[in-house]
A and B are shown apart, each in its own frame.
Chain A
């Protein structure tokens, strides 16, 4: 079945460091891919999405490119801030289904 694998956390970085959170997926067909962020005590917020191969989603300085050849959707940011501290979830949604499949999440902690 479809699945999403994320790198284990927590990831601890200093402010202004470069961030990469790896995400790979297994799916039949061509899923849509998403990154969601969950701040402490809150629900999930959509960070960015890509719906076809080679699409790049971007928002608030975060980027991710849909790589069909490597079945990956890695999240990157050039310079993280303390306010980026949160849990990040990679997710997919396949055509013909009605659900999102989420990874287990990666906790990011940014130190001042």
Chain B
């Protein structure tokens, strides 16, 4: 069974640029959530996708957007990058439509640095 994978591992971008991060969910999981983890902080929920539709969103501006594909993999897109977007971006998958008692399985994350 393959776990959650993310690419790239590290990324350096300039303020104002756009970035796309990718996530492959664990086999059999149809729900993907994205989190932003700033240095020394806990992960903050960005949004969740279930069967290719956004299923919930945290307090992030519209320049954070996402997609989920038929194979349940997902992308996180961030436009007009700001310095404060520098963080570890975590993808997590779960086997249901976000049922609250189900654990989420996290990928290793993508470290984004905005200069």
Cross-chain contact A44 with B100 (CB below 8 angstroms): no
Cross-chain contact B106 with A43 (CB below 8 angstroms): yes
A residues less than 8 Å from B106 (CB atoms): 36, 43-45
Cross-chain contact A103 with B48 (CB below 8 angstroms): no
Question: Inter-chain contact count A-B, CB under 8 Å?
Answer: 62
Cross-chain contact B105 with A105 (CB below 8 angstroms): no
Cross-chain contact B56 with A98 (CB below 8 angstroms): yes
B residues less than 8 Å from A89 (CB atoms): 42-43
Question: How long is the Cα–Cα vector from A45 to B26 in the complex, in angstroms?
Answer: 14
A60 at the interface (CB under 8 A from B): no
A45 — nearest CB in chain B belongs to which residue? Answer: B106
Contact with A along B66-98 (1 / 0, CB 8 A): 000000000000000000000000101000001
Cross-chain contact B56 with A97 (CB below 8 angstroms): yes
Partner of B101, one of A36, A46, A51, A101: A51
**A100 and B107 in contact, given A43-B90, A93-B100, A94-B100 (Cβ under 8 angstroms):** no
Residues of B within 8 A of A (CB): 4, 33, 35, 40-45, 48, 55-56, 58, 90, 92, 98, 100-101, 103-109
Residues of A within 8 A of B (CB): 4, 31-32, 34, 36, 41-46, 49, 51, 89, 91, 93-105
Question: 4 closest Cβ contacts across the A-B interface?
Answer: A98-B56, A102-B42, A99-B45, A98-B98
